[in-house]
Amino acid sequence: MTEPLDDIDELDEDLDVFEQSPEEVSQSLNPLRELPQAALLSVDDADALLRWRRASIIAIIGERNGGKTTLVSEIYAQFLKGRFADLMFSHSLSLMGFEEKSFQSRSESGLETPDTPRTSAQEGLSFFHLQIADLLSNLKKHDLLISERAGETYKDIRDKPELASDLLEITRCEIIVLIIDGERVCNPRERAEVFASIRNIARALIESECIQVEARIQLVTTKFDLLQGDSNPKALEALVDFEESIRKIIDNRYHLSTHHVAARDPKRRINPAHGVAELLRSWLQPKVMASGTRLKIPALVSEFDKLALRRTSN
C-alpha cells in the first residue's frame, strides 16, 4: 500500500493563466519550435556565417553536366559512411541541401543508374556548408563554403572577362576549382571544345584581375574512370598537354595544381570517390602565394604618404 502524498494539493494546483504574460501563455500553449531550414545557404546566409565563424570559400566552376554537384555530393556520401580522408564530419548548416542533391544516387530513388539533379540557372548562387575535424591536426575544425551555381552562368565570362567581378564566389574565394569533364575529353569530337572553354575561362579570370592574390587555382578532371587503362591513351595524353598549357597561362601568378577524380563509377572499375580524398585535403591547406605574385602598391594620394615617400627617397 502506497503512502499518501502530503503535498498532493500543491501538485494539483490549478495554473492561473491570467497571472502570466502573453508571451508565457503562448509558449505554454505552443511547445513547438521552428528549426533551421538546412537547405543550401543563400548569399545572405553565407555572409551571416562568415561574420561569426571563419570559413574557406571554394568556387567550383565548370560547364553544365561536368560533374560539379556530383563531386560535392560524393564528399557528403563518404562522410555518411564514417571517416574520410583522415577527416570526421562535424557539422553542416545545409544537410537538407546535401540530401536533395544525393538522393538520386541511392537505390531507394528507384533509378537504375546513379544520377544527380541539375542546377538551374534561375536558382542563382548558393553554398554547401561543411564543417570537418582533422584527425591529423588534433581534431582542428575547418568550415568550407562550397559554391553551387549553374554552369550556364560561367559561359558569359569567356567572352566578357569583366563579368567575373560580378560573381561573388570568384571575388571572395580562396580556391577556384575549374572542372574538366572527363567524358567529353574521351570524345574526340568534343575534346577541343571542352579544352577551349576551360582555357578561355582561365584567361578571363586572369584578365579580370578580380581574384584574390592568395587564391589557388585547381584543374580538376572529373569522370577520370573513363580515362583509365589503355582504352583512351590519346585522350589522356591530350589532357596532360592541356594541363601544361594552362600552367603557362597562369605563369606563376597563382598557385596551380591538377587533380583527377571519379566521384562514382557505375561500372565499378575503380573505387568510389577516386582522388576525392586528396582533393578535399588540399582545400584545408594554408594559403600559399605563388612565387611570381606581386602585391599592387596603392596610389599615394595623401600628403602623409607623399611625405613618407620623400623621406625614404632621401
Helices (H), 163-232: 168-172, 182-186, 188-208
> C-alpha angle 38/44/49, rounded to 5°?
65
Got the DSSP string for 76-99?
Answer: HHHHHHS-BTTEEEEE-S-HHHHH
Alpha-carbon distance 89 to 78, whole Å?
10
The pLDDT of residue 97: 86
The pLDDT of residue 305: 67
The pLDDT of residue 268: 66
Domains of the chain: 43-282 (3.40.50.300)
Could you tell me which residues are beta bridge partners of residue 177?
A: 60, 218
**Which residue has cell 623621406?**
311
The pLDDT of residue 151: 73
The pLDDT of residue 153: 79
Taking the whole predicted model, whether its pTM rises above 0.85 is answered as no
Alpha-carbon distance 231 to 237, whole Å?
12
HSE of 68, CA atoms in CB hemisphere, 13 A: 25
The pLDDT of residue 157: 81
φ/ψ (deg, to 5) at 70: -60, -40
Alpha-carbon distance 245 to 251, whole Å?
10
φ/ψ (deg, to 5) at 12: -95, 15
The pLDDT of residue 175: 95
Strands across the sheet with 140-148, in order?
87-91, 126-134, 140-148, 56-61, 175-181, 216-222, 255-260
Alpha-carbon distance 219 to 256, whole Å?
8
The pLDDT of residue 61: 92
Q: How many CB atoms lie within 10 A of CB 160?
A: 11
Low-confidence ranges of the chain (pLDDT < 50): 1-12, 15, 17, 106-107, 109, 111, 115
